[in-house]
Amino acid sequence: FGNARTVMNDNSSRYGKFLTLRYDKTARLQGASFSTFLLEQTRVVRVAPAERSFHVFYALLAGLSSTEAAELQLDCLAPNGYTYIATSDAVGGPAAADEAARDASALSEIGAALELLGTPRATQWQAWRVLAAVLRLGNVVVSAAADGGTEVARVDEGESAASLEAAAQLLGVSHTALSSAVTTRCLKAGGEFIQTPQTCAAAAEVRDGLAKALYSRLFDRLVAAINDSPQVAGSDGGGEGGGGSGAGPFVGLLDIFGFEDFESNSLEQLLINFSNEHLQAIFNSIIFSAAQAEAEAEGVPPPQFDAEAVSNVSTITLFSAPHSGLFALLNEECVFPKGTDESFVAKLHAANKEHSRLGLVLQPEGSAFRVAHYAGSVKYQAKGFLVKNKAPFSEDLLVLLRTSSEPFVATLFAQEAAAPQAGKRGGRGFRGVVGGYAAELDELLRVIRSSTAHFVRCIKPNVRKAARCFEEPVVMRQLRCGGVLEAVRVFASGFPDRMPIRDFVGTYCSVVAPSKLPPHPPGGPPSQGDAPTAWERGACAAILRAFDVADEATALGHTKVFLGAGVAAHCKAKREARLAGLIAVVQAAARGLLARRSLRRRAALREKEEERERQIAALQAQQEAERAATRGAVGLRRKASFEREASVKRRQQQERAAAAKRTEEATASWAAREAELTKLHTELTRQAGRKQAALAAELAQLTAALRKAEERNAALERAQAEERAAAAAREVELQTAVSHWRDEAALAAQREQQASEMGEARLAQAVEREGEARDEASFFRARFQELALSFARAQDPAPPRSRPPNADGGGFFGAVASLIGGGAKPRPSRGRGRTSHAPSSPAEKARAPPQAPLFSPRTMSIAEEPYSPPQPPAPRDAPTPADATALASYLGLHPVRDAKLMWIAEAAAAEPLPEGWSEVVDPGGRLYYSNGVTGESSRVHPRDEEFRLLVMRSKLEQMHSAPAAQPSAGDWSTIRMKSLEQSLSSAASAPVRALVQRSGDRRGGAPRLTFEMLLDEDTRLPWMEAVLREGPRGAAFELLLEGGAAEKSEHLVRLSGPSSSVLVRRERRDAPLPEDGPVGEEVELAAVIFVEVLGEADESGARGGEEAPYSMELVVPAAKRGGATQAHKPRGPSDTLLQRYGRGETEGLLVFVGQVARSAAAEAPSAAVRLSLPKTDSGNLLLQTSGRRGANRATLEYRDPLSPLAAFSAALALVHWSERAQSALARAAIGKGRLSVG
């Protein structure tokens, strides 16, 4: 589903993935989970030459039978029959055959893997239907047609219309509705809604957007299925959250794209290279740290690297700067109505014309730019940047697919039902694809920075995908892109070669004159393990002097000698030159020895050969005498042989004469016998003829009988074959019926499960509404008399401030006037909409239930109207004063407790739509808001997020020393509100209660701690979130300010020791994480120190289940006038809060002291502390933790002069110290137990 063939790799991952393997403390695997990001959705609708789309499309076509393909509306099983996956440059030869074989077997393998994850065949078939719908959508051709001189889009007749109808059937939606959603939109013009046709380009974007959304959501569904499966998630629940608190060690495997530089680079390559820039920055930091750590361990001054030469921070800043960065300018250009790719490039160059990493590309269209990355300069084609960043997806299609008759499709698009499209804007306005990806990357980088990272570089030997072929330019380019050459250059700038002193002396002492070496100690050099002896250190220095090496080019450490650039090669050359003369002498002696040995061997061989020749001559003479004697004996034997042969011939002649005589006698006897035999043969022949005729008659009778038997047998066989065929047909029909009913049963089970979940959600909502109805009823009872008087005086009411006058009254009390009286008709809402859609047609009015009045005019009693929960109301047509009341609960305002902030609800009710936004009707007849420039859509007003943030800031300011402004409804946008960071830094004028909750993190199992203020019994406001990370430099808490759209700084709590931490604010979020100690862009807000109290614990270290007491000290700068907390900017490493407090310099500082009471009970460990000013019992901070390991929940109460940031930092410090103290106590108990047993 996520891999495809590219020009570099036949099985390239076209998405990034982060796999987390979770372990317990005994290194036993507990489970796993993985998350994905940046799926290459463009590959679904567009394939580059010589590449393929995702493998699953080709596997689907190759693995389906003709019957299954017909059910999926796939009338062609060839990839080139579908526009989305067709490619002109297909691979040929054996590679194509292998690829086709893999495709044919892939679908069954995918099905087996899905079954292993617990996905039934019925659900798999629904996934195949979605894939088939994507393929058929690609064959839908949208062409331009003229309609009154205006270009409109329409679907071509024939194949395109058939493909659209097939896609609609597969998705379970109406063919007409799908065609209308692709080619038209229903916009509001004046007071009416009209059907507006799309342009051809816009309709094609909607079609492609639908295909990409279908595939990406199916991909996300697959990821969720893997994470939720017991085989993967393990016993702790798994999934995204990891189950439980998520604490414990883990191994994270990040598989991400490498650096990419193609002939044409677009937004995908830019995001990929941006990710690699961040990873390269971490890699450089690790290289610097490794080199410096080794030098410090050896007692050698750290090498002076040229950090600027290899730093890529400026490139990262070019991308992520808040206002002038590439991402910020791209999002800004997407919002402009007339923004184009060319204008984006022009603004990018104008805002960064002095930036050394940005280059101008001169070309006619002016939509290209060049960025100097760490791996080289890359040219990006900006054409299509704005469209890809907007990633438009029609709200009409979203509504249509949510009402699909296929439960699987409806489930895919029901995930955003709770908050449709609202998260896309958030508190920062338009985010786009780059904003979402940057946020995911930041979360991933936090995990990497807090872990021990190892880098694996994958090198491809050639681009031809050939075996046993090594192309040096290709490899060098990959080494450069991977940053390996930069790492080599970093090491070469200091001491690139390091050798153990003992190895160095053993290698080079033999080529130095003994007189230049120090004398050996008596008894030889003693061995002291790995540490070199004093003689070896002296010999090392003497060898370097003998080789004429400068002192500044080397450094002698504790166990190693550090050699500068070229020193190792120089020492090696000296050694080789000295050994060359010695080798010549050794070679001469060896060659002379070998020559003499060879000469002696040759003389001995000659003597042996002469002796052998003499022996051979004697043997030859002996052999000649033996031959002469043999010839005489042979002659005698021949004469005797001749005589024997003559005697034998005479005997043979006599025998032949006797044989001839016997032959004549035998011939006469044979002739007589032949005549007798002839007579007998004639008689036998006559008798055999008679018998044969009888047998022939009998055979004819038997043959006729056999033929009749065969005919009867053939008839029986035909009857049996017909019966078997009928039985097979009945069996096939039964199997088809069983399969059909099984699929229907699976679908019915899914529908039943969905209905059950919806019923449970509605029940929970009803319970919540019932509880809130009591508050609303009490409010109306308390305010009834005042509202009734206001209604009596409202015969000719004056228009409220900053609100347009209307005949029915205005403001908050005008809303009450519209609610009294049974004969009043329901008023339509204003354009942005806040209540449910009112019936407009006569038929709808007839079907609509009667509207009961909230107040009865006769009895003046309060009708039972439940208090509405905070849900976004649906749009209507015109504003009414009652919108302020409905919006109050939606924005988080209580009508009684937040009466002073009701002006915000009134302002929200009167707020018009921003420029570029319009009201649109979806296929279901409901209104939503759409931005024609950015392609965004929302079910709530685009300004709602701003008003919610305004409510949050106003509530926060009410709780602290600075009073909240209360302007009129029309003047809220002109009020200069205090920033959220300033509000969080302000001291509390009255005691404030808060809660710190701990939960698991989505990646890496790191826990999160959320800071929530308790405004009243049932209202909590989450303000900050911290991510607890354990890394090589300790732990860090990064504070994430919720809704902080204008915040440019970053807060984190850095551990300065095992029992101290400092809360700092970094002015630049895009700057790299610093090493230990403050930097120039950081200011300190608070410091926490834990000190063990001596003399108060007994010998065992615990009394009554409690640990030895500790004191907790909180140091903050003195507050300014008005309650704003003052930050401390260190002038150097010795001017930090901890350093000043340690020296006793407390001027301008406030110190709060308290004693930690910690319980060591295993079932419920806890810690509590009360911080006060010295010599007082003011109790400025009350803090208590409880839960598993004493850190799952913390309650606190703080007041002046402490701020939320200071209180949160103290809670985080206590949570972290509590966990470390619990672990230390366990280790101490184990140690004492072992000691007592021993």
pLDDT digits over 16-32, tens only? 899 999 888 888 888 88
- Tokens at residue 370, please? 């060049």
Say which residue, 594 or 1059, is predicted with more confidence: 594
Q: What is the mean pLDDT of residues 1075-1093?
A: 70
At 819, the pLDDT band (50, 70, 90 cuts) reads very low
Which pLDDT belongs to residue 900? Answer: 80
Q: Which amino acid is at 997?
A: Q
Cβ within 8 Å of residue 335, ≥6 positions away: 429, 430, 916, 933, 934
| Residue 1150, φ and ψ in degrees, nearest 5 | -110, 130
Residue 1139 has pLDDT above 60, yes or no: yes
Which pLDDT belongs to residue 966? Answer: 53
- Tokens at residue 767, please? 């319970």
Residue 656 has pLDDT above 70, yes or no: yes
- Tokens at residue 100, please? 């086709």
Which pLDDT belongs to residue 528? Answer: 56
At 599, the pLDDT band (50, 70, 90 cuts) reads very high
At 851, the pLDDT band (50, 70, 90 cuts) reads very low
The Cα–Cα gap between 981 and 1067 comes to 12
- Tokens at residue 214, please? 């279908």
The Cα–Cα gap between 1008 and 1191 comes to 11
At 1030, the pLDDT band (50, 70, 90 cuts) reads low
Which pLDDT belongs to residue 1052? Answer: 75
Highest mean pLDDT: which range of 123-137, 426-440, 620-634, 902-916: 123-137
Highest mean pLDDT: which range of 918-922, 1148-1152, 1226-1230: 1148-1152
At 523, the pLDDT band (50, 70, 90 cuts) reads low
Q: Are residues 277 and 312 in contact, defined by beta-carbon separation less than 8 angstroms?
A: yes
Residue 812 has pLDDT above 90, yes or no: no
- Report percent pLDDT > 70 for the chain: 72
Q: Name the residue with tokens 């701020």.
A: 1203
Q: Which of 522, 316, 242, 247 shows the shortest CA–CA distance to 1069?
A: 316
pLDDT by residue (tens digit) across 1153-1184?
A: 888 877 665 555 677 888 888 877 667 777 77
Q: Which of 770-779, 852-861, 1061-1070 has the lowest mean pLDDT?
A: 852-861
pLDDT by residue (tens digit) across 223-235?
A: 998 888 876 666 5
Residue 1051 has pLDDT above 60, yes or no: yes
Q: Which of 95-109, 588-602, 1188-1202 has the lowest mean pLDDT?
A: 1188-1202
At 595, the pLDDT band (50, 70, 90 cuts) reads very high
Which pLDDT belongs to residue 1236? Answer: 28
Say which residue, 739 or 215, is predicted with more confidence: 215
Q: What is the mean pLDDT of residues 898-927?
A: 80
The Cα–Cα gap between 297 and 420 comes to 56
Which pLDDT belongs to residue 371? Answer: 93
Q: Which of 904-908, 937-941, 1071-1075, 1124-1128 has the lowest mean pLDDT?
A: 1071-1075
Which pLDDT belongs to residue 167? Answer: 94
Say which residue, 885 or 1139, is predicted with more confidence: 1139
Three-state secondary-structure class, residue 870: coil
1013: β partners:
994, 1021
Q: Which amino acid is at 637?
A: R
Beta 1034-1041 vs 250-255: how paired, if at all?
A: unpaired
Q: Are residues 1146 and 1152 in contact, defined by beta-carbon separation less than 8 angstroms?
A: no
Q: Which amino acid is at 80?
A: N
Q: What is the mean pLDDT of residues 251-260?
A: 87
Which pLDDT belongs to residue 1101? Answer: 41
Q: Which of 1213, 1218, 1216 shows the shortest CA–CA distance to 1063?
A: 1213
Which pLDDT belongs to residue 148? Answer: 59
Beta 358-360 vs 250-255: how paired, if at all?
A: unpaired
Residue 689 has pLDDT above 50, yes or no: yes
Q: Are residues 775 and 894 in contact, defined by beta-carbon separation less than 8 angstroms?
A: yes
Q: Which of 615-629, 931-945, 1121-1135 has the lowest mean pLDDT?
A: 1121-1135
Given its phi and psi angles, is residue 141 left (phi above 0), alpha (psi -120 to 50 degrees) or beta? beta
Residue 380 has pLDDT above 90, yes or no: yes
pLDDT by residue (tens digit) across 980-993?
A: 666 677 776 677 88
pLDDT by residue (tens digit) across 764-785?
A: 777 767 766 665 555 555 455 4
pLDDT by residue (tens digit) across 548-587?
A: 888 888 888 889 998 888 888 899 998 998 889 888 999 9
pLDDT by residue (tens digit) across 382-393?
A: 988 888 888 777
Residue 979 has pLDDT above 80, yes or no: no
1061: β partners:
1055, 1088
Residue 1065 has pLDDT above 60, yes or no: yes
Greatest alpha-carbon pair distance for the chain in Å reads: 175
Residue 514 has pLDDT above 50, yes or no: yes
Three-state secondary-structure class, residue 804: coil
DSSP state of 998: E
The Cα–Cα gap between 15 and 346 comes to 31
Q: Are residues 449 and 1073 in contact, defined by beta-carbon separation less than 8 angstroms?
A: yes
Q: What is the mean pLDDT of residues 597-621?
A: 89
Say which residue, 772 or 75, is predicted with more confidence: 75
CB burial of 596-632 (b: ≥16 within 10 Å; e: otherwise) equals eeeeeeeeeeeeeeeeeeeeeeeeeeeeeeeeeeeee
Q: Are residues 413 and 402 in contact, defined by beta-carbon separation less than 8 angstroms?
A: yes
At 112, the pLDDT band (50, 70, 90 cuts) reads very high
Half-sphere exposure of 122 (CA within 13 A, CB side): 16
Helix 395-402 with 200-228: angle, nearest 10 deg: 50
Which pLDDT belongs to residue 1032? Answer: 43
Which pLDDT belongs to residue 798? Answer: 36
Q: What is the mean pLDDT of residues 736-763?
A: 79
Q: Which of 209, 63, 45 shows the shortest CA–CA distance to 125?
A: 63
β strands within 266-422, DSSP E: 358-360, 368-373, 376-381
What is the distance, to the nearest Å, from the Cα of residue 778 to the centroid of all Cα atoms in its chain?
Answer: 50
Computed from CA positions of residues 660, 662, 665, 666, in that sequence, does the dihedral angle turn out positive or negative?
A: negative
* CA R_g for the chain: 47
Q: What is the mean pLDDT of residues 336-360?
A: 88
Cβ within 8 Å of residue 812, ≥6 positions away: 881, 884, 885, 902, 906
Q: What is the mean pLDDT of residues 892-919?
A: 80
Q: What is the mean pLDDT of residues 722-730?
A: 86
Three-state secondary-structure class, residue 587: helix
Q: Indicate the average pLDDT of the chain.
A: 75
The Cα–Cα gap between 279 and 1146 comes to 42
Query: What separation in angstroms does the CA of 818 have from each of 804, 824, 884?
Result: 16, 7, 13
The Cα–Cα gap between 810 and 833 comes to 17
At 273, the pLDDT band (50, 70, 90 cuts) reads very high
At 215, the pLDDT band (50, 70, 90 cuts) reads very high
At 843, the pLDDT band (50, 70, 90 cuts) reads very low
Kind plus residue range of the DSSP H or E element containing 1037: strand 1034-1041
Peptide bond just before 1074 cis, omega within 30 deg:
no
Three-state secondary-structure class, residue 917: strand
Residue 44 has pLDDT above 90, yes or no: yes
526-535: long-range pairs with CB below 8 Å, 24+: 530/500, 530/559, 531/558, 531/559, 532/500, 532/501, 532/502, 532/505, 532/559
The arrangement of strands across the sheet holding 250-255 comes to 29-37, 16-23, 250-255
580-583: long-range pairs with CB below 8 Å, 24+: none
What is the distance, to the nearest Å, from the Cα of residue 753 to the centroid of all Cα atoms in its chain?
Answer: 29
- Tokens at residue 427, please? 């508190």
Q: Which of 733-737, 830-834, 1085-1089 has the lowest mean pLDDT?
A: 830-834
Residue 1231, number of CB atoms within 10 A of its CB = 10
Which pLDDT belongs to residue 879? Answer: 40
- Tokens at residue 645, please? 């042969």
Which pLDDT belongs to residue 828? Answer: 32
Which pLDDT belongs to residue 981? Answer: 63
Q: What is the mean pLDDT of residues 370-374?
A: 90
The Cα–Cα gap between 531 and 426 comes to 60
The predicted model scores a pTM of: 0.64
Say which residue, 364 or 1091, is predicted with more confidence: 1091
Q: Are residues 252 and 20 in contact, defined by beta-carbon separation less than 8 angstroms?
A: yes
At 490, the pLDDT band (50, 70, 90 cuts) reads low
The Cα–Cα gap between 564 and 410 comes to 67
Which pLDDT belongs to residue 823? Answer: 36
Which pLDDT belongs to residue 169? Answer: 94
At 877, the pLDDT band (50, 70, 90 cuts) reads very low
Q: Which of 94-108, 242-256, 451-465, 954-968 has the lowest mean pLDDT?
A: 954-968
At 847, the pLDDT band (50, 70, 90 cuts) reads very low
Q: How many helices (H) and strands (E) does the chain have?
A: 32, 32
At 140, the pLDDT band (50, 70, 90 cuts) reads very high
Which pLDDT belongs to residue 1121? Answer: 58
